[in-house]
Chains A and B, each alone.
Chain A
């Protein structure tokens, strides 16, 4: 394995960068930008190193020994008094098939968003400092295996996000930023409560044989660690596990965002600057579903099985509702935002199936949606940079004026529609295969296929409204993509096609873990 704490490095590197940036004088925005680019670039390199050293056969999920790149040491250890047990918090990082794709995604999207941030001119230093802080938060969420640590990272993202939307955003930025902030905080207080509840329901046996309460996520999954009277303990007949599950789920669902908790998303997206929209759609939304898979599923398997149908139902609502609402949008960015709602529905649907194919599809869809939606938001950003409007009816005929751009747009749009040969197809197909394969979610899956149709509807309609038809003379001087923009689009395009043609490259990473997860949830092993 690797001889240095690579997960810590990949997580805290941006913080280091942030500190460095704070020392760079304000008058050198270029230095700030290049430093950030370097930091995110190194992150990508580290992610690739991780991938190269990744053992595809190790499952992770509930067993500490099959996690990879583990870093674990006692962070907080308060001993000595009987009445509160030992307050023990581990600094516990590790990777498995659930997190590896997300780490990759985060690294890539951050890098791309960093390139996209080049156009930022207003207080560059602040922007990149916050950007890097956000980066750490995201990365941390995906590698943390201690609930406390997870929660800290989870909340760490809120504030930078608030500022990034609030300072660098559009006209209604203040409203959007606070809405995002309040909404997510509302969700996370539920997570906090469940976290504490789980803490009191789980003990961990230390090396010396003593049992202590713990925040360790893996320990929480092990039924033999349950305390007899913890409120979320299986051994306690009057437990609150069902309610806790729902509370936790709602906390995560707000981030996904799941209907009816999605209304912060369009506002946040419309007002956020392009790189932040990219991050938001590309990575942040995945945290919700990641959280559900990482925490809800293995810790509350019996409730999960009970609620499969409901999760699927909400997935279906997301898919169809998001698509229908997207159809009605007149703002380019809002349309993409609602398309995100729709696409995240597939993730929920896949998860709900509780089958290897479905869950694989869900995680794969998380990754693919990350890349594809990032591209879509970049696309909106390009046109907004040039035209300073996003009205779908303000354009027309851009294909003639900006052929290269239109080419990438077409790729991204068709990827979003789920065209075979692009990554989105494989994941959506797997989701449907999984969901259809199970009695519980079969009908839901069948209805959800409508989403494929509606998706094509709004995407192609947008393509037509913005890019086809006679060129609107107002934009006759618009320029095509420059090199920097190409540098954002090409990697994403390559990823989209590569994973469309060779999905195994990604699926193999998660396969073992997903199989383990599914059988853990369903069979308990």
Chain B
């Protein structure tokens, strides 16, 4: 039982989350007349979790060690890498709570706000486990926990047809993807006799004849992960669901669940398919499956598809959906380098992506609150009538494009540094040209906000004080990290450690 106690110590954030979830549900039932305080309870729970996540930084070790597996490998690997992503998820969640405060859509369903937060907590819990679990079964289950919550959340407001539609599409697409993944997991289990990534890794180190089966299983598993990070060709749900879901949830999906997906992908590949990491930081892949080529093709496909599809989108949410697909492509590039440098780039990029993407969604939300539309034509002239919103949006979009002096540039810089270091020049050029293409649709928004004359007087979207603060909280780091990014890089660098057996 000492083992269990140690394990519980390691998963304190998750425990806190679970307790907060239960408290939320209970409170929701008790105070069913007045639900004003529910969001604050949620916020409190998140902050507390956040504190424990921070407190957990530096902690490292396996939790829930299984007696079957030599008594030292467990279901969860707690390490700095996981903590980094958990921190990102918590930050996103806290911001989403604030988003929800000002979202008109969410304000309309105040009577169900308890359930709303309960589901969000379900998602967070799922993501936390995704981030640190090293057992395929647990991975699958926590993925499902996250998915089930998000299916409901996508259709949560039930205000418009598209809400329900988003939920249904998400559900069906998600179910089939996770079904494929589960089948893939079962094949891996058949090949290796285990669902634990470390054990699988050890099994794969010895000569193996069943490479085709392994490849098939890998692709099926990747279908499940790829759908979470919306990489091509598993991205088709993304635009529809993003457009249909409430904005807060869209923003949340685009950042948090993607973060979880990436953490999972990195941990899965690093733990399972890397034989060793050389002193320079390059990962030596096991010669059982050519992850590198697969990921190169997929990442190029993803970013190209995302960028080109985004070009003529008139719905801002939909455009940002395609943009998030494109960013998934860039992020995958960090992985295809298969080195610590590439991983560092992903970590940095993701933190920055969090800020700028959430910022863009926040502005879309604020504008939708006022105008009830996400159509680009309804943005005409908004830059002039609503200067603060306009400037902030420009900064976010420029950052998404990856131009200095915004943080987006730093993200791209580290990515390309990693690529050039690995001498993957062609890929780097394709990615760079992609970012030139992306400029076109990002600037198109700017154009509509500033350059196009509105047919009638553009409404002034004047954010209230709390929204202003929220915006500033997002804008300031996007600018500051653009000129002084050392803290972020230092933090990311200290989070590179993925728990290994050695």
Listed in ascending order, the chain A residues whose CB lies under 8 Å from chain B are 75-78, 80-84, 87, 123, 151-152, 155-156, 158-159, 162-163, 166-167, 173-174, 177-178, 181-182, 185-186, 189-190, 192-193, 196-197, 199-200, 231, 240
Contact = CB atoms under 8 A, between A and B. Distances in A.
A320 B443 CA distance: 35
Contact of B416 (A77, A152, A178, A193): A193
8 contacts: A76-B485, A81-B493, A83-B280, A84-B344, A159-B398, A167-B450, A185-B439, A231-B423
Given A155-B403, A185-B403, A174 B451 contact: yes
Interface in B428-446: 428-429, 432-433, 435-436, 439-440, 443, 446
Interface residues of B, number: 43
Contacts of A158: 403
Nearest to B451: A166
Given A78-B489, A189-B436, A173 B451 contact: yes
Nearest to B434: A189
A182 B403 CA distance: 12
Given A167-B450, A173-B451, A199-B417, A156 B405 contact: yes
B404 A189 contact: no
B403 A193 contact: no
Interface of B: 279-281, 339-341, 344, 384, 394, 398, 401, 403-405, 409, 413, 416-417, 420-421, 423, 425, 428-429, 432-433, 435-436, 439-440, 443, 446-447, 450-452, 483-486, 489-490, 493
A153 B494 CA distance: 30
B430 to A, nearest CB: 11
Contacts of A174: 447, 451-452
Contacts of A196: 413, 416-417, 420, 428
Given A83-B340, A84-B421, A192-B432, 16 more contacts: A76-B485, A76-B486, A76-B489, A80-B493, A84-B341, A84-B417, A158-B403, A159-B398, A166-B447, A177-B451, A182-B439, A196-B413, A196-B416, A197-B420, A199-B420, A240-B425
Contacts of A178: 440, 443, 447
Contacts of B279: 82-83
A194 B484 CA distance: 22
A155 B409 contact: yes
A83 B343 CA distance: 12
Given A76-B486, A189-B435, A182 B440 contact: yes
A177 B425 CA distance: 30
Nearest to A244: B425
Given A200-B420, A200-B421, A240-B425, A152 B452 contact: no
B436 A185 contact: yes
Contacts of A190: 432
Contacts of B446: 162-163
A189 B432 contact: yes
Contact of A189 (B339, B433, B452, B486): B433
A1 B458 CA distance: 54
Contacts of A182: 436, 439-440
A200 B429 CA distance: 17
Nearest to A125: B387
A273 to B, nearest CB: 13
A231 B420 contact: yes
A76 B484 contact: yes
Nearest to A77: B486
Nearest to A81: B493
B339 A181 contact: no
A242 to B, nearest CB: 13
A284 to B, nearest CB: 16
Minimum-distance CB pairs A-B, first 10: A83-B281, A189-B432, A152-B404, A196-B420, A166-B451, A155-B404, A155-B403, A174-B451, A186-B436, A83-B280
Contacts of B443: 162, 178, 181
Given A155-B409, A156-B404, A156-B405, A87 B489 contact: yes
Contacts of A162: 443, 446
Contacts of A159: 394, 398, 403
B417 to A, nearest CB: 5
Nearest to A166: B451
Nearest to B437: A182
Contacts of A167: 450-451
A235 B451 CA distance: 50
Contacts of B483: 152
A193 B417 contact: no
Contacts of A199: 417, 420
A351 to B, nearest CB: 27
A156 B395 CA distance: 12
A240 B424 CA distance: 12
A386 to B, nearest CB: 25
Nearest to B450: A167
Nearest to A201: B420
Contact of A78 (B398, B420, B440, B490): B490
Contacts of B484: 75-76
Contacts of B432: 189-190, 192-193
Contacts of A76: 484-486, 489
Given A156-B404, A167-B451, A78 B486 contact: yes
B376 to A, nearest CB: 13
Contacts of A82: 279-281
Nearest to B489: A78
Contacts of A83: 279-281, 339-341
Given A123-B384, A196-B417, A181 B439 contact: yes
A200 B422 CA distance: 10
A199 B413 CA distance: 12
Given A76-B484, A76-B485, A78-B486, A84 B340 contact: yes
B105 to A, nearest CB: 32
Contacts of A192: 413, 416, 432
Contacts of A240: 425
A87 B421 CA distance: 13
A77 B425 CA distance: 26
A177 B404 CA distance: 19
A293 B481 CA distance: 31
B33 to A, nearest CB: 46
Nearest to B341: A84
Nearest to A247: B429
Contact of A151 (B341, B404, B428): B404
Contacts of A152: 404-405, 409, 483
Contacts of B340: 81, 83-84
Nearest to B419: A196
A179 to B, nearest CB: 11
A326 to B, nearest CB: 29
Given A76-B486, A78-B493, A83-B280, A163 B450 contact: yes
B420 A193 contact: yes
A167 B439 CA distance: 18
Contacts of B401: 185
Nearest to B415: A196
